[in-house]
Structure 1
Amino acid sequence: MSPRHLLALLLLALSCSSFAQTVLSVRGSILDPTGAAIPGATVRLETTAGVLASQSESDAKGNFTLNNLSPGNYSLIVPTYSGFAAYTAPLHLTTSIANVKITLFTQSINQEVNVDDTNQSLSTDSSANKDTVSVSGDDLRKIPVFDQDIVATLTPFLDSSAGSSGGTTIIVDGVEMKSVGVSASAIQEVRINNDPYSAEFTRPGRGRIEITTKPGSPIFHGEANFIFRDAIFNAKNYFSPVRPPETRRIYEGHIGGPVGRDGHTSFIASASYRQQDTASVVNAIGPNGVISENVLTPNRNSQYSMRVTHDFSPNHRLSVGYNYEGSTSTNAGVGGITLPEAGYNLNSREDDAIFNDRLILTPNLINQLLVTFEKDEDVTKSVTDAPSIQVSGSFIGGGAQADIARTENTIHVNEILTWSHGKHYVRFGVQLPQFSRRAVDDHTNRLGTVKFASLTNYSANTPYVFTAQQGVGRALYWINELGSFVQDQIKLTPHLQASLGLRYDWQTFLPDNNNFSPRLSLAYAPGKGKTIFRTGTGFFYDRTGGDFPATVKLHNGVVLHSIQIQNPTFPIPPGFDFNNVPTNLARFDAHVRTPYAIQYSVGVERQIHKTITVTAAYRGQAGVKSFRSRDANAPILPPDPILSSNYPRPNLNYGQIQQIESGGRNLLNALDLSFRGQAGRWFSGQAQYTFSRFENNTGGINAFPQNQYNPNNEWGRADQDRRQRFNLIGNINPDHWLSLGVIATLYTGTPYTETTGNDDFHTGLGNARPDGVGRNTLKAGGVASLDLLYDHDFRLTRETGDKAKFLSAGVSAFNVLNHANFTSYIGSLNSSLFEHPTAALAGRQLQFSIGYRF
């Protein structure tokens, strides 16, 4: 079955109407204003005559279930509980409802309910937009998740145009982190595009993943899972000569419960261990022809977490936690045109100590303080101790020359005050996204890197550039960031709500101190609230990203002596004295400023059925002062290069001067269409289609133009631009014995650049394009993938609710259609692989799982 036929079947399934049901249920969760679960709260469903139809109590995760219901009109009631005010809301029930979210507030604070996909009227709340991707912890068990990696599974729903220079922004329990920190089963909910213009965060909604972890519990509960894959069940990779002996084993779970007998203290602990014996496929061209082989790339990952929560009173809760993650990888970087000898090994460790203090100061004022102490250690070691040899578009061999060690000690702080009064819901916060002391020992490229324009040049021993560095290579430095925000959600009328926010950001290494980001969004619901119009705009400031300041600290001409020699003699003579060659530098431009983007959107949500909402929105973005690099000491080519073979640098005391500038720009125009809800018994979930165009004139902070004296002549498609994207996640035939979890992706290809393969501008960069050819004019192939999961729970006890015990078994199939999704296309005209891919994503793979829950 082709991807086109698959999509047609999925769309047909979405169009089917629901079958009549006589026995219905309501499932949901009860949360406090910070998003934490409230266990032990009573939930009642009464008829309009006041007769009790069903009653339940929220479990350790805040979840509740009301069963054996008939269609009709009801009142959903949560009585006063543990200092929180009572809650009542009407509910019109025609079909089973899932994902009801009830937020309880203390007295005098407005209450709210979000009955996802089922409420007979939509909400104008800025965080209730139906373009949000929201997946609960229970739902995560029902969809195919490759290697239990939740972030990778949901990353396709992000938009690369909304990301930061440092990559995907991960928010865990309100704090920006590098990783999730807990095992997959300890996640309560994952959300993307929640309140797109919130002033609380540096990135817009489509540029961040918000994760809420499960809280402690007054009763014991837990989960254990074993996930495994084996090559015998997998299809062969498109470029693999034979199927490699791959195996994967994942042991994962969590346990939580009370501490002591007073009912005020609880804990939750999680752990996972991944043992993955994987392989990469080398597909290169060497001097003697094609090089095709499988290379084993085993890796191990261990993750442990522990959190204890104590309620000093109904108004004061303190949580203390610890996370550990350690991983090792062998032969990393190998694959495509990179040979096994050019691989490297990785060892990393992260330790986090987490403090979360929530205090209800008055009935309408809540303070939350989150502090995280993080320590990271990362070591990279080359597999082969030899110079690196790179032949454009053909192969990368020799040693990786990647030896480096990094340590980081960081404090993250979030202090947020929430105040409610009348029509206003105000949040104010002061944040330290990172207050970080870092050290780096850089021993990269000590034996040097030699680059050749083609295999012919390699055979003739005529490289176009040789680079190397010597020196101590150790640097200590600080990377500090400060943020603060204020945001007010105002209910202007029963049909109109506004959200006004202002954010301020500051970071080291950049001299500007005026980075104020105004944010505004409006939601209008005319009539009965089945249609909502939303619009918004805001400024979003970027960061230097990753650990780039280390480059400036190291390459200052003192810590490291880095050199570049064009058209060198090869091999390099033994005992060559680097000190006779001018050093390279890396520096920030004196006029560098923090890049920012102006995002704006307008859209409409329409509830076409009690269980189905569709949305359509236009989204635009204009990026200003984007980062780029430029060689500020590049040779000035003579009017007629043919008549001259001498290309001296303007300042003979230095080699390449990498100057980081903020002179780039970008432009996005996008149309987003989405579906969210339950189409009868046939499908429940969400789907998104995006038609967009993303253009810019820089590939990022480390990207150089081809002509260093005309850096603005790089306008073209952005590296991440995909003209069309379709993502679907959910369940086919949900809540039945034969139910399938499904994730489907259909993407058009990203662009890549055609190059001559030669160093025509004599900068040592080798990124020259043919005359008249722009950046990113070639197009890679698209991506089509279908993942399915069949999973079934076997009840081990007759008890229901918190006392129920389950044994589960499942099988997931990834890339079911075994479609060849190609990557790593070659753009060098000197290569025999020009316009051909050198790698492909995995073919069809089966993953088996067995689990126990109590």
Structure 2
Amino acid sequence: MKFLVAAALAALALPYAPAQTPCAKTSGTTLTGIVHDTTQAIIPGASLTLDGGPAEASGADGHFRFACVPTGTHQLSIAAQGFATQTLTVKTPHSASLDLILQLQEVETQVDVSGDEATSAANSAASSGPTQTISSSRLQSLADDPDDLLRQLQQLAAAAGGNPSNATISVDGFQDSSKLPPKSSIAYIKVNPDQFSAEYREPPFGGGRVEVYTKPGQPAYHGALFATNGSPWMNARDPFSTSKAAIGKQRYGFELSGPVRKKGSDFTMTLEHRSIDNFAVVNAITLDSNGNQQRTVANVATPQRLWIGTARLDWQLGAKNTFIASYNANVNHLQNVGVGGTALAEAGYDSQQYEHVLRVSNITTASAHLMHEARLSFKWDGETDSPTSTAPQLQVAGAFTGGGATLGPQRIRELAIEYDDDAILTTKKHTLKFGTQLWFYKENQQLTSNFNGTYNFGGGSAPVLDANGNPVPGQTTTITGIEQYRRALLHLPGGTPTAYTNVAGTPNINFNLFQNAWFIQDDYNVGHGVHIAAGLRYYWQNNPTVLSSATPRMGILWSPDKKNRWTLHAHGGLFAGRYGKGDYAEVTRMDGVNRITSTIYNPIYGDPFINSTPIHSIRQFSPHISNLTWGAWNIGGTRVLPYGFNLSVDYYNGRIWNYTRSNNINSPLNDSPYGPRPGPANLNILQMQNSGQGRVNAVFAGIEQHSFKRVQFFFGTVRVNLLDDTDDNEFSTPQSSTSNAGELAYRSNQNVWNIFGNGTFKLPAGIQLSTNFNGGGERHFNITTGFDNNGDGNFNDRPQYAISGQTEVIPTPWGQLVASGGTGVFPRNKGVMPWVFYLDTNLQRAFKLTRNAKAEHQQTLTVNLRTANILNHTNVTAMGGVLASPLFNRPFAADPGRRVEAGLRYNF
């Protein structure tokens, strides 16, 4: 770690080439304006550079802003895809807002000129760090498929140090997470904008943030038709499968854009359909008809049928006012969800999911110093689930999951309303942004989780049997879950299930959730290349009620040289979490009144309620529940190196307190489920508390090159050393309610190391090769016994270290372990998975169909061949964590193998 920091800081001090980018002077003014075309249609994502300095991108409303421009004469360059690059002379101070008009670009100009992103990135060291803006040619290099595109963006967001799966996806400036729109509708993407700004809730380690901004309409009618196909013969056999399945994918759709009226109003719309014929690989240990263990491997069809549609209207209401309305629809039908790995086909379910979003925005430029934006969205989303079987589920620890799904037929419906209102006020030395963010959720959920019941076969102590299946007097042994299940089927001693759980009552859960945040952020230009940022964010919500969430933030940026070839920055601040819909729904689901959750230990298999005493479980919020709090600071820098290379280095450090987790505050005092308890008998009270802790440090380094004509690339790596005792899960429970020993550990399935990058290679004959890759290592998984030795209702007990001379010892990479009766505390998440590595490529060639280079409607045909996981690397996603089970410490599930698809796109 120290070597990485030292090497990175040393690189920042390397000799540098003559600078091109001016630094902020002691005095200056704000330069603002709007970019549009000859029909007054706004142009988002345009790249603007002042005197060849760091690039700024015009927003979704076409507006741009340079915070501090020295008095004098400057050269302003504007570039946007499909338009001719324009350079003009600007004198400052300039009190009025600039009105920039771009002309359509001729085809000849497009052939030999690099994309706008390449030009601006070469002069902007900031774009190579955790904060990135993706547009133009780099955006085109990303995957077309929505799922593949999401994975690539999540991995880029992981540069901030978070778990990729937790990345927030926002669209057109709205804060709430949403589905990705079709790639063809995207103008540009911001990955991890300044997360120390008070405008954002998420800490740098919270998963990262991806902001997607969609395209406005065009001044003339333009469109495209596209189709892609991936046939079974093109794709590789999936890992752990013994035979190749009929894997395929087809996508097709169109996009259309044009004017609504002659000037100042336009529209754009897209529609696409995707059919995926994927297969889940079952890789489990089951029993044959004679009760012998056998490996069961099967390809189970998991088809998906997805429709995505968008429509957007932009209306210029006046010289200072723009109205934007958009509608997004996402409807997906999935079959055999939950199948794969040790989960058999009978444990799956079908799911019909949808999301419809209506968004409206109004942007008002009151003056050259004040801009106001109001945004309102309505989102209707939900799903309907249908299980393959409603039989009780069978969970045989470390072997297989069968029976039925854990849910019955259920419906989930949600209405989400978001309102954002913010303003930007600029003065000579200050840029002040302030606003409010309001969310309202109306939930109508029919949750049938575990209404059909679940048998758990975790193994444990059992009598030794002779050849005839009779117990040997006075002899016991520890058996696995699958041996316990075998004995249950044959009605042999030791065949009693470990436990049976179920839920009874009404499945209907209805509630409303309010969330609101206020923020204010100021950027102060001190002069001499120094900028100071300070902000404050306050958050509150109901269900549960949280009021004490005021989080200040502060940052400083310094460019030591007048040419701005390198910068140093430091940030610090507090961050607060929030309790989501799922948290309140789960606590309500297990309220113990409308729904009764029961656990029966050692039940009769097939008739668990006979001669049994159920243990009930409820969930509740602590009476003094508060918000979790992060404290984080960061130092780093960017450096423009010779020959157009840009280096970025950052170091993060953070502390977490008031972290939320659950604890059984009514655990039995003698480790027996039916023993005495502090409170009511035979009742587990799982209370959500602020008892969790955590700490983190991370190092990021990235380098990019976008000035070469034929080759452009970005490469980055981050090492995240994050430990906590909650596993980033409010419902996570320690193995013991009375001890926290061994709980502080790495999070489950989160990489310690992440590497990522992309490259574009311009080959002869107009062929272009694009690559995107990411890898991760040191993902951890938990080692458990499958037992509930302390009777607290949580089957997460970990093994112990064996005592010298002890029997039934299991040799492991971490030493000699036993399920019980040993010594010491075995740490949580001690297991480590293999590295994963994904390399995706796209090879394409565009053919011009229009001979007249000045024709208004240029026509092109683009042919491409795209691959995912081209190296066919086995990317393991799950390993056996149950001690002594058949799959212990063995991988049994992985992401798909190589996928190949060919595509055609006709633009007109």
TM-score tier (shorter):
0.7 to 0.9
Distance change in 2, residues 1:736/1:212 (3 Å)? farther
Q: Which amino acid aligns with 2:697?
A: N
Cα shift at 1:609? 2.7
Matched position secondary structure for 2:456:
strand
**Is the 8 Å Cα contact of residues 637 and 648 (structure 2) preserved in structure 1?**
yes
Cα shift at 1:799? 2.4
Is 2:832 the partner of 1:815? no
**Is the 8 Å Cα contact of residues 334 and 352 (structure 2) preserved in structure 1?**
yes
Q: Which residues in structure 2 correspond to 1:64-83 (within 5 Å)? A: 64-66=83-85
Q: In the aligned structure 1, how far is the partner of 2:779 from the partner of 2:359?
A: 40
Deviation by residue 1:235-285 (Cα, 9 ceiling, x = unmatched): 111211211112211123422111133x12111111121111111000000
Q: Which amino acid aligns with 1:214?
A: K
Q: Which position in structure 1 is the counterpart of 2:3? A: none
Matched position secondary structure for 2:591:
coil
Q: In the aligned structure 2, how far is the partner of 1:778 from the partner of 1:56?
A: 54
The answer to which of 192-201 and 285-294 deviates more is 192-201
TM-score computed with the length of structure 2 as normaliser = 0.80
Deviation by residue 1:683-736 (Cα, 9 ceiling, x = unmatched): 313211112311111111121111122246401122244232210113134797
Q: In the aligned structure 2, how far is the partner of 1:667 from the partner of 1:562?
A: 35
Q: Which residues in structure 2 correspond to 1:621-770 (within 5 Å)? A: 621-637=654-670, 647-653=675-681, 655-678=683-706, 680-681=708-709, 683-699=711-727, 700-711=729-740, 713-733=742-762, 737-770=766-799
Q: Which amino acid aligns with 2:548?
A: N
Q: In the aligned structure 2, how far is the partner of 1:739 from the partner of 1:100?
A: 16
Distance change in 2, residues 1:632/1:56 (3 Å)? closer
Cα shift at 1:664? 1.0
The equivalent position to 1:376 in structure 2, one of 362, 375, 381, is: 381
Q: In the aligned structure 1, how far is the partner of 2:664 from the partner of 2:767?
A: 61
Q: In the aligned structure 2, how far is the partner of 1:725 from the partner of 1:530?
A: 28
Q: In the aligned structure 2, how far is the partner of 1:271 from the partner of 1:181?
A: 13
**Is the 8 Å Cα contact of residues 118 and 610 (structure 1) preserved in structure 2?**
no
Q: Which position in structure 1 is the counterpart of 2:849? A: 796
Q: Which amino acid aligns with 1:704?
A: T
**Is the 8 Å Cα contact of residues 755 and 776 (structure 2) preserved in structure 1?**
yes
**Is the 8 Å Cα contact of residues 45 and 188 (structure 2) preserved in structure 1?**
no
**Is the 8 Å Cα contact of residues 98 and 116 (structure 1) preserved in structure 2?**
no
Is 2:367 the partner of 1:339? no
Matched position secondary structure for 1:547:
helix
Q: Which amino acid aligns with 2:413?
A: T
Distance change in 2, residues 1:480/1:577 (3 Å)? farther
Q: In the aligned structure 1, how far is the partner of 2:366 from the partner of 2:763?
A: 43
Q: Which position in structure 2 is the counterpart of 1:220? A: 221
Q: Which amino acid aligns with 2:283?
A: N
Q: Which amino acid aligns with 2:784?
A: T
Cα shift at 1:100? 5.6
Is 2:651 the partner of 1:618? yes
Distance change in 2, residues 1:585/1:448 (3 Å)? same
Q: Which position in structure 2 is the counterpart of 1:485? A: 519
The equivalent position to 2:324 in structure 1, one of 298, 316, 319, is: 319
Distance change in 2, residues 1:246/1:439 (3 Å)? same
Q: Which position in structure 1 is the counterpart of 2:894? A: 840
**Is the 8 Å Cα contact of residues 627 and 660 (structure 1) preserved in structure 2?**
yes
Deviation by residue 1:737-760 (Cα, 9 ceiling, x = unmatched): 233101122321301111122222
Q: Which amino acid aligns with 1:281?
A: V
Distance change in 2, residues 1:314/1:558 (3 Å)? same
Q: Which position in structure 1 is the counterpart of 2:23? A: none
Q: Which position in structure 2 is the counterpart of 1:255? A: 256
Cα shift at 1:509? 2.5
Matched position secondary structure for 1:141:
helix
Q: Which position in structure 2 is the counterpart of 1:13? A: none
Matched position secondary structure for 2:98:
coil
Cα shift at 1:82? 15
Matched position secondary structure for 2:175:
strand
**Is the 8 Å Cα contact of residues 638 and 649 (structure 2) preserved in structure 1?**
yes
Q: Which amino acid aligns with 1:315?
A: K
Q: Which residues in structure 2 correspond to 1:353-502 (within 5 Å)? A: 353-403=358-408, 404-432=410-438, 434-453=439-458, 454-461=481-488, 462-502=496-536
Matched position secondary structure for 2:718:
strand
Cα shift at 1:803? 3.7
Q: Which position in structure 2 is the counterpart of 1:7? A: none
Q: In the aligned structure 2, how far is the partner of 1:677 from the partner of 1:800?
A: 33
Is 2:601 the partner of 1:566? yes
Matched position secondary structure for 2:346:
helix
Q: In the aligned structure 2, how far is the partner of 1:816 from the partner of 1:82?
A: 54
Cα shift at 1:591? 2.4
Matched position secondary structure for 2:300:
strand
Q: In the aligned structure 1, how far is the partner of 2:892 from the partner of 2:45?
A: 48
**Is the 8 Å Cα contact of residues 185 and 253 (structure 1) preserved in structure 2?**
no
**Is the 8 Å Cα contact of residues 46 and 78 (structure 2) preserved in structure 1?**
no
Deviation by residue 1:378-424 (Cα, 9 ceiling, x = unmatched): 12221111000001110000000313321111110110111111111
Q: Which position in structure 2 is the counterpart of 1:510? A: 544
Deviation by residue 1:9-33 (Cα, 9 ceiling, x = unmatched): xxxxxxxxx9xxxxxxxx9825898
Q: Which position in structure 2 is the counterpart of 1:35? A: 59
**Is the 8 Å Cα contact of residues 144 and 741 (structure 1) preserved in structure 2?**
no
TM-score computed with the length of structure 1 as normaliser = 0.85
Deviation by residue 1:312-346 (Cα, 9 ceiling, x = unmatched): 11111111222222111110000000000000111
Matched position secondary structure for 2:588:
helix
Matched position secondary structure for 1:174:
coil
Deviation by residue 1:204-258 (Cα, 9 ceiling, x = unmatched): 4562111111112322222332122122111111211211112211123422111
The answer to which of 289-298 and 810-819 deviates more is 810-819
Q: Which amino acid aligns with 1:321?
A: S
Q: In the aligned structure 1, how far is the partner of 2:248 from the partner of 2:330?
A: 22
Distance change in 2, residues 1:742/1:78 (3 Å)? farther
Matched position secondary structure for 1:458:
helix
The equivalent position to 1:85 in structure 2, one of 98, 111, 115, is: 98
The answer to which of 362-371 and 224-233 deviates more is 224-233
- Alignment root-mean-square deviation, CA: 3.3
Is 2:579 the partner of 1:556? no
**Is the 8 Å Cα contact of residues 249 and 274 (structure 2) preserved in structure 1?**
yes
**Is the 8 Å Cα contact of residues 537 and 599 (structure 1) preserved in structure 2?**
yes
Q: In the aligned structure 1, how far is the partner of 2:89 from the partner of 2:758?
A: 29
Gaps of at least 5 residues in structure 2 are 1-16, 18-43, 49-55, 64-72, 102-111, 289-293, 459-480, 489-495, 801-824
Q: Which amino acid aligns with 1:500?
A: A
Distance change in 2, residues 1:317/1:631 (3 Å)? same
Q: Which amino acid aligns with 1:416?
A: D
**Is the 8 Å Cα contact of residues 573 and 631 (structure 2) preserved in structure 1?**
yes
Q: In the aligned structure 2, how far is the partner of 1:413 from the partner of 1:501?
A: 21
Q: Which residues in structure 2 correspond to 1:103-252 (within 5 Å)? A: 116-119=120-123, 130-146=129-145, 149-159=148-158, 167-180=166-179, 182-204=181-203, 207-252=208-253
The answer to which of 185-194 and 132-141 deviates more is 132-141
Q: Which amino acid aligns with 2:604?
A: T
Q: Which position in structure 2 is the counterpart of 1:268? A: 268
Gaps of at least 5 residues in structure 1 are 1-17, 19-26, 40-48, 68-73, 89-94, 102-114, 639-643
Q: In the aligned structure 2, how far is the partner of 1:710 from the partner of 1:823?
A: 30
Cα shift at 1:510? 3.5
Q: In the aligned structure 2, how far is the partner of 1:232 from the partner of 1:147?
A: 23
Distance change in 2, residues 1:482/1:147 (3 Å)? closer
Q: Which amino acid aligns with 2:620?
A: R
Cα shift at 1:139? 2.5
Q: In the aligned structure 2, how far is the partner of 1:801 from the partner of 1:499?
A: 49
Q: In the aligned structure 2, how far is the partner of 1:174 from the partner of 1:610?
A: 35
**Is the 8 Å Cα contact of residues 401 and 448 (structure 1) preserved in structure 2?**
yes
Cα shift at 1:77? 6.8
Q: How many residues align?
A: 778
Deviation by residue 1:774-833 (Cα, 9 ceiling, x = unmatched): 101111111122221101111111326964321101001222222222221011113111
Matched position secondary structure for 1:553:
helix
Q: In the aligned structure 2, how far is the partner of 1:168 from the partner of 1:685?
A: 23
Q: In the aligned structure 2, how far is the partner of 1:374 from the partner of 1:28?
A: 25
